[in-house]
């Protein structure tokens, strides 16, 4: 058997006899440096956002966790302003999960028609409220895994509900504006919301996860034309 070449080892000797770092070591160091640079950039942006938008909060109107859940479901592909015009009549007629769960699908559809995709949204709202009554004792669940079992609820909706109804930072809300601006800032190279969220969770301290999202959304509304 031929002796293994020294070039196959993780490092090799230089002309002066000292060990040279392998490509793997250099690559790892470069990756760590890039992550540190991104983390510093994210921290700087967050400080500026907090200064520029100190009072930023969820712009959906609601009084209870159930109402926030419903409003967030309605906000998909719709502006918060439009949702806030629809929900007063909806919540006046169906103020609780119990009331909504007993509602007629056709009636809910009519009340939320102007938010777009109203058939799917109505079906998800009705299904979620019925599941809340049947499986969660009439209370909106307070954990990510439980919220994700509700019809029409993905991580974006669950993050909004957990953060603003219960004060729980379980993740980073990624909507269209967060996706666009995070890419422009060079904090992620991904387009998939789950991968963007994962990147941001590694760059930001957990207590500021929702602070980042809500303020970046405010900033996006102020500066993005489309």
Residue span of the structural domain in which 155 resides: 65-166
- Report, as residue numbers or ranges, the catalytic residues: 156, 175
Say what the pTM is. Answer: 0.83
CATH number for the domain including 221? Answer: 1.10.1670.10
Same domain, 162 and 184: no
Gap between the Cα atoms of 216 and 59, Å rounded: 13
Question: At 19, is the secondary structure helix, strand, or coil?
Answer: strand
Gap between the Cα atoms of 121 and 19, Å rounded: 63
Q: If pLDDT is split at 50, 70 and 90, which confidence band does 138 have?
A: very high
Helix (H) or strand (E) holding 12: strand 12-13
Same domain, 196 and 215: yes
**Cβ(157)–Cβ(119) below 8 Å:** no
Give domain status of residue 60, yes or no.
no
Mark which of 150, 166, 182 sits at the end of a domain: 166
CATH number for the domain including 158? Answer: 1.10.340.30
Higher pLDDT residue, 5 or 160? 160
Mean pLDDT (whole number) for 192-201: 97
Per-residue pLDDT tens over the stretch 32-75: 667 779 999 999 999 999 999 999 999 999 999 999 999 999 99
Mark which of 127, 148, 166 sits at the end of a domain: 166
Give domain status of residue 136, yes or no.
yes
Same domain, 109 and 159: yes
Nearest to 75 by CA among 85, 54, 133: 85
């Amino acid at each position: 058997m031929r002796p293994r070449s020294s070039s196959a080892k993780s490092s090799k000797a230089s002309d002066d006899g000292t060990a040279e770092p392998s490509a793997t070591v250099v690559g790892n160091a470069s990756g760590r440096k890039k992550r540190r640079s991104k983390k510093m950039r994210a921290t700087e942006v967050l400080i500026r956002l907090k200064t520029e938008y100190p009072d930023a909060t969820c712009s959906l109107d609601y009084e209870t966790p159930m109402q926030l859940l419903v409003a967030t479901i309605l906000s998909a592909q719709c502006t918060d302003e439009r949702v806030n015009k629809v929900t007063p009549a909806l919540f006046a007629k169906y103020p609780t999960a119990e009331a909504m769960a007993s509602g007629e699908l056709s009636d809910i559809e009519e009340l939320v028609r102007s938010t777009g995709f109203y058939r799917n949204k109505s079906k998800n709202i009705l299904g979620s409220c019925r599941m809340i009554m049947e499986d969660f004792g009439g209370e909106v669940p307070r954990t990510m895994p439980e919220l994700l079992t509700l019809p029409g609820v993905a991580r974006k909706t669950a993050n909004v509900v957990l953060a603003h109804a219960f004060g729980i930072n379980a993740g980073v809300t990624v909507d269209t504006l967060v996706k666009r601006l995070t890419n422009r800032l060079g904090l992620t190279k991904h387009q998939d919301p789950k991968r963007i969220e994962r990147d941001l969770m590694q760059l930001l301290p957990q207590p500021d996860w929702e602070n980042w999202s809500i303020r970046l959304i405010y900033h996006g509304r102020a500066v993005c034309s489309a």
